[in-house]
Amino acid sequence: MEAAFFDLDKTVISKSSSLALSKPFYRAGLVSRSTLLKGAYAQLVYLLLGADEKKMDKAKDGMLALSKGWDRAQVEEVVREALIQVVDPYVYQEAMDLIALHRALGRTVYIVSSSPEEVVKPLAEHLGIRDVIATRAEIVDGKYTGNLEFYCYAENKAVAIRDVASRAGIDLSASYAYSDSATDLPMLEAVGNPVPVNPDRELRKVAEREGWQVRDFRRPVPLRKRLHVPRPTPSMAAVVAGAGLAAVVGWVYVRPWLSRLVSGRKAA
């Protein structure tokens, strides 16, 4: 069995999933206005400069402190309600095409992210993906404690992938991995087919040195615009064409009568 492992942020979607949800969390009363503004600034920095280990550790510590005492059920509800407006418009069409291709070839698709499970799982399900590997927060009596059970970042992504592969019988040497960041090098190196996507500077250098294929995704397209619209069947086309012809013929015959009627009213 083979698999394809996709990083989430800036690989499947064009922004940080956790930071993108700061506004819905604010509306739900989970974060303050100042935190919301900091989130917007962090999003800008993330898009322009990427996320190195220092930034990721800072973001992780800040999120843990912020989420302490939150109710897990409420967080999941906020995420699900916000998916269409907040995340869906930023999904890369190229990523969805690749995911569809891997599935067609019989590979299992995984979303692998340092974001919390409560964010990653609903998002993956929204994209039609069942299997995820993500950060797990410690929860007691339905509330976040401010600690982590598992931090899905850097080497830990590779550890989790190898564990999943061992349990599911996945041949990693024939599998694929996609990511944008050099911090995910352990994940990319865990498979036989590593593919940097929108790589940061350091990862691009590694890709050039190793001769890896590089992909650049540029087309975020909302899911509703990706829905398949069936082409008309021959019978449907005939009906439409017939209706169009009837309308033209009807207009040819009715138009002179309408002209006389209008002229008569004007004369009256």
Distance CA 166, CA 172 (A): 9
The answer to whether the CB of 107 falls within 8 A of the CB of 100 is: no
- Looking at residue 83, what DSSP letter applies? I
Helix (H, G, I), strand (E, B) or coil at 182: helix
State the catalytic residue, choosing from 9, 88, 184, 200. Answer: 9
Q: Which of 71, 84, 88, 85 is nearest to 28 (CA)?
A: 71
CA distance 159 to 191: 12
Is 140 in contact with 158 (CB distance < 8 Å)?
A: no
Known active-site residue 71: no
Contacts for 243-248 with beta carbons within 8 Å, 24 or more apart? none
| Burial readout 119-153 (b: 16 or more C-beta within 10 A, e: otherwise) | bbbbbbebbebeebbbbebeeeeebbebebeebbb
52 is catalytic: no
Helices 117-126, 72-82: crossing angle, 10 deg rounding: 30
User: How far apart (Å, rounded) are the C-alpha atoms in residues 124 and 112?
Assistant: 10
Choose, from 7, 88, 184, 200, the residue flagged as catalytic. Answer: 7
Q: How many angstroms separate the first and last alpha carbons of the chain?
A: 85
Angle at 52 between CA 47 and CA 55, to 5 degrees: 85
* Chain position carrying tokens 């940097």: 196
Residues tagged active-site: 7, 9
